[in-house]
Amino acid sequence: MWLLNIGSGNLPEISGLPCHSIEIPQQMVVEENLIEAIYSENLNDLDVEQLAKRVILAPTNKKTLKMNRSITAKLQDEPHTFYSSDLIISEDQNDLQNYPPEFLHDLTP
């Protein structure tokens, strides 16, 4: 519930803290290595179901990509590349001009 409240800007102000400060619940504070705390020391011991239940949220795609590189470097299997189809389906020609494939290729969801 706390994450939903912070996402919607509904956390109460806490007296004694500066404006725009938040108090993070203790059970959400990780003092050791974040990646190891979430995924364990050996990622390769976790199965798909265990991995699917873990997540690290980051404020920007840049930080997410950095963490992803760190996490995938710990994996023992060979990496796989999965390709997407970057295509705009629209009857509006402006959509096709405003979102060329080069723009879509640069997006990091």
Q: Which residue has the higher pLDDT, 108 or 94?
A: 94
- Write out pLDDT tens, residues 45-97: 888 898 888 888 888 888 888 988 888 888 888 878 877 767 778 888 887 77
| pLDDT recorded at residue 109 | 61
Sketch the domain layout of the chain as residue ranges: 2-76+87-103
Residue 54: the pLDDT is 87
Show contacts of 23-31: CB within 8 Å, 24+ apart. Answer: 28/2
